[in-house]
């Protein structure tokens, strides 16, 4: 907060006020987003804990009467953790305190090892090992979707990834964006990002009816090519939607072509697994069709 | 596969879902080349991202298993090729030869060769670990996805197992089929042996190799007890150490004394501890400790303790630090420290018995009364007297010697045995053992005499603290005494004399002693002693009361005799000691005929007393009393030529007073014979003899003249009043032979013990009745043990005594035998 001083209003003051109102707007926007995030977070935890939605009433948050100090402590802690998250988000794409660089298709992103290495063992190893990355402090990604890589780092700093296109990467189509996030999350061992991206894709397909999109078959291909067999998070999302709309999809030549290709999707589409299978089922023989 | 930039690069159908086989070989070639670089320490130009991505893709294409196998194969090749040959190069011929038969090369050469081998192995292992962790980093996705899903060990673990199989389990050389692992153990053992022999070895190097062995398992399940270190090395190490220390213990016992042995053993123990810390693993510490302790201590402690320079020598020469060492060693293998304890106990009893024997010898060393040799010029009584004095001295010396012994062992206990409670108990038991030894029945008497001596002389001019220390000493010894009742008997006897003859220096100290005993032995023990003090106070009151009473009678008689009297309760005081009518010898002592004047005042007091306390009977004990007599001797020529009447105040025994008064009525120059004196006074023969000896024989107090002049008193002797008596002082004390507290003669002791046994019988019976009254019915064994425990504080009754008392109680129908029981038991008859 900037303090309003009772000094004669000069232009600087006006400018400041304008900046302030802009900031306020931005903050409102941010608050909206945060609300969404909170809702999301709730769902994420539900997904992670694999609880039915009805069972997630936070009964453990009831504070006994007369323990106001405990509850105010809890409030302080909560505020503190919000502030902390905010502070970390502030240094995203900021060279300040940065001690390493990520180069994505030529775009340089200054990063902080303490932020990214603590979250992912991949970065930990990459910067620790006696390889060239550890030597120079530069990690280069020249393959795959640059936007997806960028969003991974955005997520590591801000706990979310945005829809708008960062920098001048070529954006991923809506139905490829989340599978690619999921795939990278899998590669970097970011389980919560996996859950988040799977959820987002599910919402897009189900709520926004994007399963009707012509790019749905490509989405399925992407999902099946970029996750290992044992990883059901994304795969079950697309299979579920496809099975729910078998008839409509069957009308589409593109979708029929997809099933005609055979492979794991075709198998899952025809022989769906029970809905509540664990994420990592015991080893089953890999079926190569 | 992640699609490239944007939607333009949508792959055509029929590709992509299965992954392409062609990719794998070429990708693996890239990876393999990179791994080779890593193994040749050339990794800094490699890109982690790229390698990871390649491996990631392979796994994603469901080729995880192929990749895993390839990596494993690659490592196997690498280890069996490059690494194994480089290590075999380090095996110098003499190292290999030594492994089979020692000899030929010097220790130093062997050490250097061994170190070279260890260094090489350490290097190979270290490299392998570093490289494999880099590989594992690159292959992390494979570990996470393929290995976890398929339940196969991580690539790192597999590679470590490969090192074991390809290197450690490989043949030492083409000719030598033993695995390298055996050679490694052997080399490490040899190095350790060199260190034990005083060489300096590279501990760090060995530790690295040990860590390697600890990191590998003999089986593929990685079970905790299958570590190579434990399986292939540790047991060998323990076995060779056992052999080594067994030999060393033997040679040390042969070559050094016990103190040196302890020092070296302790050094060895610490060395092994340090070795485990610095060279091996700490988990071995308790195991090797056990081996060393068994070989150096447990199996040798008995020998060690009993060595000529063993515990006995250490005690005798105050080797406190060595005692501490041997205690410490013993404590390591035996929480009870039984060997040291036994030796200490033995030594205490030995030294204690010596003290006992010295006391007996000293008391017997007194010139035996030999009438033939010196009967002519020394009366027999004096010889006896002297012997008794010697005995008293021996008694006091005994107490002091025991205290010195106690101090000595207390110091040992404190300084060498870390104030160990178990040892304290054991030592206390040993002290009690010799103090209550069956061959030395005098401890109770000696301790009482020691107190007596101090009360009469010892504490003169001493400070309160010094006195307190003395009293405490007596209490310490008293704690050991088993037959507290016997002590009580002696103490009473000695105290009685001190009180009646005013020998005590301080009444205060006497009372202090009583209160100390009270704290130590309880109220019961001191009750009668306190009653004695009370009698004394009451007697003082009686004396002054009687004096007032007499003054109140009116006309003052100038010849009135002043009476100071002690009225003693017969149950409280030891009547046998003061010559009163005891239980057994009632009226043995005839009543003395007092002169009329004395008789009058005696009757006066009896009347006075019976008015105050009706129903009490007074028995007079003239043998205990004293009298102050004023004597006028006729004028005789003095040294300065004048004639002068001389007045002396004579302090004499009551009997002597009675004798002297006979001469008052005798005309000058007349005599009385011994028999006449006896007839008129009715003084017992022995008392009369002793009193006449002091009056007519002792040169300084010769108030009577005896005819014929000799040292012996014979019934036919005639006695005259010695008109020519001279003395330097006005007040003269006429001592009577034998009045102090002396050691009892053997006959007296037998009597005392008999009396003590008699009173014990009563105490035992009382205890039995008490127990039976409460229990109603009780087995024989129970009754005996309970009786013993009840009487524990007083004395330790013989079982035969208890049996006898039970019989008596059955006879007197307090108890009856329970018929038909399996164990004999008794029933209480109300």
Which 8-state DSSP code applies to residue B221?
S
Residue with the two structure tokens 């009369």: B688
**So what's the pLDDT on residue A36?**
64
Positive/negative CA dihedral, B218, B219, B224, B225: negative
Out of A110, A136, A171, pick the residue that ends a domain. Answer: A171
Q: Is the pTM of this model over 0.80?
A: no
User: Beta strand A138-141 with A100-104: parallel, antiparallel or unpaired?
Assistant: parallel
Tell me how far CA of residue A72 lies from CA of A57, A84, A218, in angstroms.
21, 18, 51
At B313, list the tokens: 């020598």
Quote the CA–CA distance of A232 and B390 in Å, as a whole number. Answer: 109
pLDDT at B744: 65
- In chain A, the number of structural domains is 2
CATH of the domain at B678: 3.30.230.130
pLDDT given for residue B579 in this prediction: 60
Contact B740, B389 (CB under 8 A): no
* Owning domain of residue A80: 76-171
Worst-scoring range by mean pLDDT, A43-47, A155-159, B623-627, B742-746?
Answer: A43-47
Residues B277 and B367 in one domain: no
Residues A81 and A163 in one domain: yes
Name residue, tokens 């801000």.
A158
Geometric angle at alpha carbon A202, from A200 and A208, rounded to 5°: 90
Q: What share of chain B is helix, strand, coil (3-state, %, to 5)?
A: 65, 5, 30
Separation of alpha carbons B533 and B531, rounded Å: 5
Question: B20 to chain A: nearest residue by CA?
Answer: A225
Three-state SS at B425 = helix
| Alpha carbon distance B173, B176 (integer Å) | 5
Residue A165 contacts B where some CB pair is shorter than 8 Å? no
Cα–Cα nearest to A130, from B144, B29, B123, B40: B40
Q: Are residues B145 and B17 in the same domain?
A: yes
Q: Quick one: pLDDT at residue B553?
A: 72
* Residue where a domain terminates, one of B181, B202, B232: B181
Number of CB pairs < 8 Å for A and B?
A: 113
The residue whose two tokens read 């199989």 is B165
Cβ under 8 Å to B: A residues 167-186 = 170-173, 176, 180, 183-184
Inside any domain, residue A27: no
Report residue B731: phi and psi, to 5°. Answer: -90, 125
Do A233 and A207 fall into the same domain? yes
Rounded to whole angstroms, how far apart are CA atoms B74 and B597?
A: 134
The two beta strands, B671-673 and B704-707, are unpaired
A28 within domain boundaries: no
Shared-domain flag, residues A155 and A209: no
Residue B614 domain-assigned (yes or no): no
Clarify whether residues A165 and A81 are in a common domain: yes
The CA-to-CA distance between both ends of chain A, in Å, stands at: 62
Residues in chain B: 830
Mean pLDDT by 10 residues, chain B (830 residues): 41 39 78 90 86 90 88 91 86 64 67 87 90 90 88 89 88 78 88 88 89 85 82 89 92 88 90 90 89 88 86 87 88 86 90 87 58 40 57 83 89 89 89 84 83 80 83 85 82 83 80 85 81 84 79 67 77 67 47 76 80 77 76 67 72 79 74 78 76 75 76 77 73 65 66 77 83 81 82 77 82 80 77
Flag whether B591 is in a domain: no
| Cβ within 8 Å, pair A228-B145 | yes
In-domain check, residue B227: no
Residues linked to residue A100 through DSSP beta bridges, in sequence order: A111
Q: What is the DSSP string of B225-273?
A: GGBHIIIIIIHHHHHHHHHHHHHHHHHHHHHS-HHHHHHHHHHHHHHHH
Q: Are residues B385 and B527 in the same domain?
A: yes
Same domain (yes/no): B329, B457? no
DSSP letters, A41-98, are HHHHHHHHHT--GGGG--GGGPPPTT-HHHHHHHHHHHHHHHHHHHHHHHTTT--TT-
CATH number of the domain that residue A98 is part of: 3.30.710.10
Of A149, A171, A193, the residue that ends a domain is: A171
Q: Do A130 and B134 touch (CB under 8 A)?
A: yes
Write out pLDDT tens, residues A205-252: 888 888 888 888 888 888 888 888 888 888 888 888 888 888 888 888
**Residue A57 domain-assigned (yes or no):** no
d(CA B493, CA B584): 18
Same domain, B349 and B469: yes
The answer to whether residues B441 and B344 touch, using CB atoms and an 8 Å cutoff, is no
- Statement to judge: residues B16 and B153 lie in one domain: yes
Q: Which residues contact B499 (CB under 8 A, 6 or more apart)?
A: B532, B533, B536
User: What does the alpha-carbon distance between residue B776 and residue B785 come to, in Å, rounded to a whole number?
Assistant: 16
- Separation of alpha carbons B388 and B80, rounded Å: 99
Interface of B with A (CB under 8 A): 1-7, 10-11, 13-14, 16-18, 43-49, 51-53, 56, 59-60, 62, 134, 137-138, 140-141, 144-145, 148-151
Residue A191 lies in a domain: yes
Please report whether residue B608 resides in a domain: no
Domain boundary among B306, B333, B360: B333
Preceding amide of B81 cis, omega within 30: no
Q: Which residues pair with B720 in a beta bridge?
A: B671, B705
> DSSP secondary-structure letter at B217?
B
B430 shares a domain with B313: no
Q: Which chain A residues have a beta carbon less than 8 Å from that of B17?
A: 221, 224-225, 261-265
- Name which of B520, B515, B559, B548 is nearest B533 in CA terms: B515
When pLDDT is cut at 50, 70 and 90, the band that residue A63 belongs to is very low
Enumerate the β-bridge partners of residue B650. B629, B732
Contact B299, B249 (CB under 8 A): yes
Rounded alpha-carbon distances, angstroms, from residue B659 to A239, B559, B677, B721, B799: 141, 18, 7, 11, 52
Q: State whether A200 and A246 are in the same domain.
A: yes
Residue B324 and residue B354 share a domain: no
C-beta atoms of A126 and B134 within 8 A: no
B611 lies in a domain? no
Residue A242 within any structural domain of the chain: yes
Position B700 in a domain: yes
B20/B142 same-domain check: yes
Whether A77 and chain B come into contact, CB under 8 Å, resolves to no
Quick check: is B565 in a domain?
Answer: no
CATH code of B806's domain? 1.10.10.10
Inter-chain touch B59–A140, beta carbons under 8 Å: no
CB contact under 8 A, A280 and B18: no
B148: CATH: 1.20.1310.10
Distance CA B110, CA B105 (A): 7
Query: What angle separates helix A68-90 from helix A146-158, to the nearest 10 degrees?
Result: 150
Angle at A178 between CA A174 and CA A181, to 5 degrees: 135
- CA B147 to CA A1: how far, in whole Å? 52
3-state secondary structure of B631: strand
**ipTM of model over 0.90:** no
Residues of B within 8 A of A135 (CB-CB) are 44
Please answer yes or no on whether A221 and B4 come within 8 Å at the CB atom: no
3-state secondary structure of B164: helix
**Residue B145 C-alpha, separation from nearest chain A C-alpha, in angstroms:** 8
Q: Which residue of A105, A128, A129, A171 is the best one to mutate when testing the B interface, meaning the one whose CB has the most B CBs within 10 A?
A: A129
Q: What is the pLDDT of residues A100-119, one digit of tens each?
A: 999 999 899 999 999 999 99
**Strand-pair category, B704-707 with B718-721:** antiparallel
Residues A217 and A190 grouped into a single domain: yes
User: For chain A, how big is the Rg over CA atoms in Å?
Assistant: 23
Q: With CB atoms and an 8 Å threshold, state whether A133 touches B144.
A: no
CA distance A67 to A61: 13
Exposure string (b/e) for A260-276, b if CB count within 10 Å is 16 or more? ebebbbbebbeeeeeee
Q: Is there a single domain that holds both residue B642 and residue B688?
A: yes
Residue A29 placed within a domain: no
pLDDT at residue number A4: 47
> Does B416 share its domain with B285?
no
Residues A131 and A182 in one domain: no
- DSSP codes, B633-667: EEEEE-TTS-EEEEEEEEEEEHHHHHHHHHHHTSP
CB crowding B491-509: b at 16 or more within 10 Å, else e = bbbbbbbbbbeebbbeeeb
Chain A residues within 8 A of B1 when measuring between CB atoms: 225-226
Residue of B4, B44, B141 with shortest CB distance to A130: B44
* 3 state DSSP class of B154: coil
Cα–Cα dist A101/A139, whole Å: 6
Distance CA(B787)–CA(B769), nearest Å, equals 10
Q: How far does the CA of residue A171 sit from the closest CA of chain B (Å)?
A: 6
CA B779 to mean position of chain CA atoms = 35
Cross-sheet strand order for the sheet of B777-779: B777-779, B825-828, B815-817
Task: Name the residue range of residue B455's domain.
Answer: 338-535
Residue of A nearest to B45 (CA): A132
Min distance B216 CA to chain A CA atoms (Å): 24
Q: In what order do the strands lie in the sheet with B626-637?
A: B626-637, B643-653, B731-733
SS3 A275: coil
Are B490 and B352 contained in the same domain? yes
Comparing B773 with A153, which gets the higher pLDDT? A153
| Domain presence at residue A128 | yes
CB–CB of B71/B77 below 8 Å? no
- The span from the CA of B541 to the CA of B544, in Å, is 5
Domain finish residue from B512, B535, B558: B535
End residue of a domain, out of A122, A143, A171:
A171
Q: Which residues of B105-128 are buried (b: 16+ CB within 10 A; e: fewer)?
A: beeeebbebbbbbbebbbebbeeb
Domain count, chain B: 5
């Amino acid at each position: 907060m900037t303090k309003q001083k009772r000094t004669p209003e000069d232009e600087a003051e006006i400018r400041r006020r304008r900046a302030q109102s802009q900031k306020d707007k931005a903050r409102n926007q941010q608050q909206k987003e945060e609300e969404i995030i909170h809702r999301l977070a709730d769902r994420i935890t539900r997904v992670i804990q694999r609880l039915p939605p009805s069972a997630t009433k936070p009964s453990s948050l009831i504070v006994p009467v007369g323990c106001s100090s405990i509850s105010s402590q809890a409030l302080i802690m909560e505020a503190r953790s919000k502030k902390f998250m905010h502070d970390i988000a502030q240094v995203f794409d900021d060279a300040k305190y940065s001690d390493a660089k990520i180069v994505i298709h030529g775009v340089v992103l200054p990063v902080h090892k303490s932020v990214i290495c603590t979250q992912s063992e991949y970065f930990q190893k990459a910067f620790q090992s006696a390889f060239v990355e550890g030597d120079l402090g530069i990690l280069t990604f020249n393959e795959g979707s640059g936007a997806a890589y960028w969003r991974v780092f955005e997520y590591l700093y801000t706990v979310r990834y945005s829809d708008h296109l960062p920098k001048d990467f070529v954006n991923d189509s809506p139905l490829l964006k989340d599978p690619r996030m999921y795939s990278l999350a899998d590669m970097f061992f970011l389980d919560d990002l996996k859950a988040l991206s799977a959820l987002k894709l599910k919402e897009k397909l189900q709520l926004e009816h994007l399963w009707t999109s012509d790019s749905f078959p490509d989405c399925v291909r992407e999902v099946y090519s970029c996750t290992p067999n044992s990883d059901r998070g994304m795969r079950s999302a697309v299979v579920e939607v496809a099975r729910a709309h078998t008839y409509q999809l069957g009308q589409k030549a593109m979708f029929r072509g997809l099933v005609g290709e055979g492979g794991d999707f075709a198998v899952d589409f025809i022989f769906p697994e029970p809905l509540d299978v664990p994420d990592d089922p015991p080893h089953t023989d890999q079926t190569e069709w | 596969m992640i699609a490239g930039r944007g939607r333009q690069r949508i792959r055509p159908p029929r590709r992509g879902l299965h992954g392409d086989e062609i990719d794998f070989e070429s990708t693996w070639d890239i990876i393999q080349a990179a791994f080779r670089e890593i193994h040749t320490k050339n990794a800094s130009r490699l890109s982690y991202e790229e390698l990871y991505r390649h491996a990631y893709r392979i796994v994603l294409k469901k080729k995880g298993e192929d990749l895993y196998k390839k990596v494993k194969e690659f490592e196997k090749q690498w280890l069996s090729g490059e690494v194994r040959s480089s290590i075999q190069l380090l095996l110098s011929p003499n190292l290999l030869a030594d492994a089979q038969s020692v000899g030929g090369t010097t220790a130093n050469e062997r050490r250097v060769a061994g170190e070279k081998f260890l260094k090489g192995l350490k290097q190979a292992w270290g490299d392998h670990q570093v490289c494999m962790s880099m590989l594992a980093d690159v292959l992390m996705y494979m570990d996470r996805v393929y290995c976890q899903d398929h339940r196969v060990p991580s690539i790192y673990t597999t590679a470590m197992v490969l090192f074991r199989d390809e290197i450690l389990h490989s043949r030492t050389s083409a000719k030598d089929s033993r695995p390298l692992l055996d050679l490694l153990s052997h080399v490490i053992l040899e190095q350790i042996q060199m260190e034990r022999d005083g060489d300096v070895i590279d501990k760090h190097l060995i530790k690295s190799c040990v860590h390697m062995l600890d990191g590998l398992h003999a089986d593929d399940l990685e079970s905790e007890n299958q570590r190579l270190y434990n399986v292939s090395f540790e047991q060998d190490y323990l076995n060779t150490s056992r052999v080594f220390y067994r030999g060393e213990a033997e040679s040390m016992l042969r070559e050094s004394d016990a103190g040196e042995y302890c020092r070296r053993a302790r050094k060895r123990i610490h060395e092994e501890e340090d070795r485990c810390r610095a060279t091996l693993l700490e988990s071995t510490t308790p195991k090797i400790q056990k081996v060393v302790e068994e070989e150096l201590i447990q199996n040798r402690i008995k020998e060690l303790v009993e060595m000529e320079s063993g515990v006995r020598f250490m005690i005798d020469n105050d080797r406190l630090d060595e005692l501490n060492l041997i205690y410490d060693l013993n404590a390591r293998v035996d929480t009870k420290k039984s060997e040291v304890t036994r030796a200490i106990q033995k030594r205490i009893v030995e030294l204690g018995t010596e003290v006992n024997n010295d006391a007996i010898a000293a008391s017997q060393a007194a010139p035996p009364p030999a009438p033939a040799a010196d009967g002519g010029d020394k009366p027999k009584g004096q010889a006896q007297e002297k012997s008794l004095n010697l005995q008293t001295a021996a008694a006091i010396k005994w107490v002091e010697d025991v205290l010195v012994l106690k101090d000595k062992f207390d110091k040992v206990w404190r300084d060498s045995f870390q104030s160990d409670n178990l040892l304290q108990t054991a030592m206390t038991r040993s002290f009690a053992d010799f103090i209550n030894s069956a061959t030395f029945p005098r401890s109770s008497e000696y301790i009482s005499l020691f107190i007596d001596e101090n009360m009469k002389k010892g504490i003169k001019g001493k400070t309160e603290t010094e006195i307190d220390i003395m009293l405490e000493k007596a209490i310490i010894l008293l704690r050991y005494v088993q037959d507290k009742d016997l002590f009580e008997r002696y103490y009473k006897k000695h105290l009685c004399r001190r009180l009646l003859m005013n020998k005590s220096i301080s009444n205060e100290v006497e009372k202090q002693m009583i209160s100390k005993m009270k704290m130590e032995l309880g109220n019961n023990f001191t009750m009668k002693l306190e009653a004695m003090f009370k009698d004394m106070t009451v007697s003082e009151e009686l004396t002054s009361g009687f004096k007032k009473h007499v003054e109140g009678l009116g006309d003052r008689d100038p010849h009135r005799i002043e009476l100071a009297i002690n009225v003693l309760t017969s149950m409280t005081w030891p009547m046998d000691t003061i010559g009163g009518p005891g239980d057994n010898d009632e009226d043995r002592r005839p009543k003395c005929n007092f002169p009329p004047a004395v008789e009058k005042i005696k009757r006066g007091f009896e009347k006075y007393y019976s008015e105050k306390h009706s129903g009490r009977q007074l028995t007079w004990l003239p043998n205990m009393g004293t009298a102050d007599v004023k004597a006028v001797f006729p004028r005789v020529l003095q040294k300065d030529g004048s004639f002068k009447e001389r007045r002396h105040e004579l302090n004499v025994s009551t009997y002597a007073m009675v004798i002297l008064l006979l001469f008052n009525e005798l005309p000058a120059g007349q005599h009385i014979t011994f028999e006449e004196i006896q007839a008129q006074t009715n003084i017992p023969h022995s008392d009369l003899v002793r009193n006449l000896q002091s009056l007519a024989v002792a040169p300084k107090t010769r108030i009577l003249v005896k005819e014929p002049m000799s040292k012996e008193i014979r019934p036919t002797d005639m006695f005259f009043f010695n008109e020519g008596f001279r003395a330097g002082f006005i007040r003269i004390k006429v001592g009577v032979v034998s009045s102090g507290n002396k050691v009892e003669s053997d006959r007296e002791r037998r009597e005392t013990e008999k009396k003590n046994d008699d009173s014990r019988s009563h105490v035992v019976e009382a205890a039995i009745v008490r127990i039976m009254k409460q229990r109603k019915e009780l087995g024989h064994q129970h009754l005996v043990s309970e009786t013993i425990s009840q009487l524990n504080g007083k004395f330790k009754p013989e079982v035969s005594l208890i049996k006898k008392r039970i019989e008596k109680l059955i006879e007197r129908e307090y108890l009856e035998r329970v018929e038909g029981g399996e164990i004999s038991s008794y029933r209480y008859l109300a």
